[in-house]
């Protein structure tokens, strides 16, 4: 009987679940809205319901386990989420134990960005390496670090918060309490904020700023040059710390690569001896918003030693 796992990706807007085979083939997928405003029980029921439907569809196969990617810090040993803006009702709630109780199956919980990094390592842009960093540029900036093929957790499970690396000593204030965090200067939200500041339009989005850049708008291009510099500052630090072979970027602003990459590469080269001396790839991730789903599905295979 062929083995499979179930991966779940709970995001701010979408709840997705997939049954995935050992070779990374997606066997079935369920996508729906994440009803975060409906309260904790509804969200948990939706997760458990999606997993049960997939188990029913896959009953001719052998379930290895279930992996769930969620936004927020994960206390790995306790199976709890803390500090998630998207999921305030889950604060300090034993979500892992509750889902296991309802499902009657073991569940592995992981931070969504860590899961995305693991997905890229398994079957995405990081397939050929064991060590990589993934940065996801969105509303904020998420990060995942894969070392020796596994998610680097830190001692509690809070490692990889790349979005909160300081890139401007007296920069924009951040919800985390710091100033000048990377995500306040290089996320899609930050790009839109710079667009407003440069009078490109009150409700302008990062995508519209990208379109302006394509059309030759100088202010729009300046924004992406600045974004590249901030990304480069963060990347130089990461390259200096890890000396990994691969650093990946994903997320909505990725189409603007040609506008931000030149200043990003220049900044990393300027600030990192390791980058100048060691062969280091900084590239686009390839799985897009499916990365977290694949990574969550890979967790049980990895734990089972597959
Ligand atoms: Zn911050």
Question: For 255-300, what is each residue's pLDDT tens digit?
Answer: 999 999 999 999 999 999 999 999 999 999 999 999 999 999 999 9
CA atoms of 202 and 186, how far apart (whole Å)? 19
Predicted confidence (pLDDT) per residue in 168-197, tens digit: 999 999 999 999 999 999 999 999 999 999
Q: 5 C-alpha vs ligand 1 centroid, how far in Å?
A: 34
Same domain for 214 and 107, yes or no, is no
CATH of the domain at 31: 3.30.420.40
Same domain for 111 and 254, yes or no, is no
Same domain for 163 and 263, yes or no, is yes
Report if residue 125 sits inside a domain: no
Q: 102 C-alpha vs ligand 1 centroid, how far in Å?
A: 35
Q: 161 C-alpha vs ligand 1 centroid, how far in Å?
A: 9
Q: 29 C-alpha vs ligand 1 centroid, how far in Å?
A: 34
What does R_g of the chain's alpha carbons equal in angstroms? 20
Query: Is residue 306's pLDDT more than 60?
Result: no
Asked if 240 contacts 272 with a C-beta cutoff of 8 angstroms, the reply is: yes
Same domain for 144 and 280, yes or no, is yes
Q: 184 C-alpha vs ligand 1 centroid, how far in Å?
A: 7
Structurally, the chain folds into a number of domains equal to: 2
Give me the domain span that covers residue 74.
Answer: 3-118+289-303
Same domain for 29 and 161, yes or no, is no
Whole-prediction pTM = 0.94
Q: 172 C-alpha vs ligand 1 centroid, how far in Å?
A: 9
Report if residue 124 sits inside a domain: no
Same domain for 177 and 47, yes or no, is no
Q: 170 C-alpha vs ligand 1 centroid, how far in Å?
A: 12
Q: 201 C-alpha vs ligand 1 centroid, how far in Å?
A: 26
Same domain for 172 and 104, yes or no, is no
Predicted confidence (pLDDT) per residue in 97-142, tens digit: 999 999 999 999 999 999 999 999 999 999 999 999 999 999 999 9
């Amino acid at each position: 009987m062929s083995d499979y796992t179930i991966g779940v990706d709970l995001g701010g807007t979408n709840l997705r679940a997939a049954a995935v085979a050992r070779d990374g083939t997606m066997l079935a997928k369920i996508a729906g809205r994440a009803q975060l405003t409906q309260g904790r029980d509804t969200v948990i029921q939706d997760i458990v319901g999606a997993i049960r439907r997939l188990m029913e569809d896959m009953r001719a196969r052998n379930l290895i386990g279930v992996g769930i990617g969620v936004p927020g810090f994960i206390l790995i040993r306790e199976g709890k989420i803390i500090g998630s803006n998207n999921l305030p009702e889950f604060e300090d709630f034993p979500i892992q134990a509750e889902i296991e109780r309802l499902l009657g199956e073991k569940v592995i919980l992981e931070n969504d960005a860590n899961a995305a990094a693991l997905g890229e390592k398994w079957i995405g842009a990081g397939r050929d390496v064991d060590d990589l960093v993934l940065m996801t540029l969105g509303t904020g900036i998420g990060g995942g670090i894969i070392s020796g093929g596994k998610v680097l957790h830190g001692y509690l499970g809070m490692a990889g918060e790349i979005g909160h690396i300081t890139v401007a000593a007296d920069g924009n204030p951040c919800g985390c309490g710091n100033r000048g965090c990377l995500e306040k200067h290089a996320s899609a939200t930050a790009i839109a904020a710079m667009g407003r500041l440069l009078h490109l339009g009150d409700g302008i989005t990062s995508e519209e700023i990208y379109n302006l850049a394509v059309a030759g708008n100088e202010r729009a291009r300046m924004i992406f040059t600045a974004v590249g510099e901030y990304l480069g500052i963060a990347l130089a630090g990461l390259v200096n710390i890890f000396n990994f072979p691969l650093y990946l970027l994903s997320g909505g602003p990725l189409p603007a690569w040609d506008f931000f990459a030149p200043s990003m590469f220049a900044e990393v080269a300027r600030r990192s001896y390791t980058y100048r001396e060691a062969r280091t790839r900084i590239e686009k991730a390839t799985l897009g918003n499916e990365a977290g789903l694949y990574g969550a599905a890979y967790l049980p295979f990895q734990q089972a030693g597959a």
